[in-house]
C-alpha cells in the first residue's frame, strides 16, 4: 500500500509565477489536509478537504492560494503569483475518514523555493 | 481556539540517558494529544496519541508520553536515548472528536554518543 505521494518534491519558481503542488492520499483515504512549514518553524494548518469539498480553509491566505480535491485525481494546492515569503515545505496528510483520530499519514513534502 | 507550546527549541541528551521533550496545550473540552517525529527532509511520522484512559501512553520506538490534566501537559519521554532518536519532534492537539490538529513549533532532539 503506497503511502501519501506528493510531487514535485522540489519546485523552484520565480516571483510572479504559479506553483502547483499535488498530493495523492493513501489508497482508501478520502480526507486530505495541507500544512505549511516555514524554515525553522512548526507546521501551520492550511486547508482540510474531502472529495469535491473544502471542509475547512481557515488557514489559507485569502489571496493567491487555492486548493481542490476532485472526484478523480490528486489534491492540488495552487499558489498564484508566488512571492519569496511562499518559500516553504508544503506537506499533505491523509486520513481514511472514519475510525482513527489524529493518526495523520504525511507525505514527504514539496519544497517550494521562490527566487 | 487550541494551541500547543513546546518551550524548548532544542534538547541535548547523551546516549543511554533518559530524555524528556516538553509540551503544554490549551484546548476547549477534552483534548486529543499527539506526538509526531520528523527526520531530515521527510514527512512527519505518528509516534503516539492520548485520547482517553491511562495517562501514560506507550508508542513507537520505545517512546511514551504522560498526560497531566492539571498541568495541561503531555511530555514525551524515553528511558534510554539512542543516537538514532535525533530528530524534530512535534506535539499536537485536537479538540475532542476532531481531526483538526494544531501543532507546536517543534523541538529538535540531539542525542550525542
User: B52-96 pLDDT, tens per residue?
Assistant: 889 999 999 999 999 999 999 999 999 999 999 999 999 999 876
Cβ-defined contact of B43 to A95 (cutoff 8 Å): no
pLDDT at A17 over 70: yes
3-state secondary structure (DSSP) of residue B85: helix
Cα torsion A112, A86, B33, B11: sign: positive
Q: Where are the beta strands (DSSP E) in chain B?
A: 3-5, 10-14, 19-21, 24-26, 32-38, 44-50, 56-58, 64-68, 73-78, 87-94, 102-103, 107-112
Report pLDDT for A100. Answer: 64
Other Cβ atoms less than 10 A from the Cβ of A64: the count is 15
Mean pLDDT of B40-53: 89
Report pLDDT for A99. Answer: 61
Report pLDDT for B27. Answer: 86
Is any Cβ of chain A less than 8 angstroms from the Cβ of B51?
yes
pLDDT at B112 over 90: yes
DSSP letter assigned to residue B41: T
Chain-wide mean pLDDT for chain A?
91
Q: Which three cell numbers stand for residue A89?
A: 515545505
pLDDT at A2 over 80: no
In angstroms, how far is CA B51 from the centroid of its own chain?
A: 14
What distance in Å separates residue B17's CA from the closest CA in chain A? 26
The Cα–Cα gap between B46 and B34 comes to: 8
Amino acid at each position: 500500500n503506497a503511502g501519501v505521494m506528493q510531487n514535485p518534491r522540489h519546485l523552484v519558481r520565480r516571483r510572479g509565477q504559479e506553483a502547483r503542488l499535488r498530493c495523492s492520499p493513501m489508497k482508501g483515504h478520502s480526507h486530505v489536509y495541507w500544512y505549511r512549514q516555514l524554515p525553522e518553524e512548526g507546521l501551520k494548518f492550511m486547508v482540510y478537504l474531502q472529495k469535491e469539498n473544502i471542509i475547512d480553509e481557515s488557514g489559507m491566505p485569502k489571496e493567491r492560494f487555492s486548493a481542490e480535491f476532485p472526484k478523480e485525481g490528486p489534491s492540488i494546492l495552487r499558489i498564484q503569483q508566488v512571492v519569496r515569503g511562499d518559500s516553504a515545505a508544503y506537506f499533505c496528510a491523509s486520513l481514511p475518514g472514519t475510525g482513527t483520530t489524529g493518526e495523520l499519514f504525511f507525505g514527504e513534502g514539496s519544497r517550494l523555493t521562490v527566487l | 481556539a487550541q494551541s500547543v507550546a513546546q518551550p524548548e527549541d532544542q534538547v541535548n541528551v547523551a546516549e543511554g540517558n533518559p530524555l524528556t521533550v516538553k509540551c503544554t496545550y490549551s484546548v476547549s473540552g477534552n483534548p486529543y494529544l499527539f506526538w509526531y517525529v520528523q527526520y531530515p527532509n521527510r514527512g512527519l511520522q505518528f509516534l503516539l496519541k492520548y485520547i482517553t484512559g491511562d495517562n501514560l501512553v506507550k508508542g513507537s520506538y520505545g517512546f511514551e508520553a504522560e498526560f497531566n490534566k492539571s498541568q495541561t501537559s503531555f511530555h514525551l519521554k524515553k528511558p534510554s536515548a539512542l543516537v538514532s532518536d535525533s530528530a524534530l519532534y512535534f506535539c499536537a492537539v485536537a479538540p475532542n472528536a476532531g481531526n483538526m490538529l494544531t501543532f507546536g513549533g517543534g523541538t529538535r532532539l540531539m542525542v550525542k554518543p
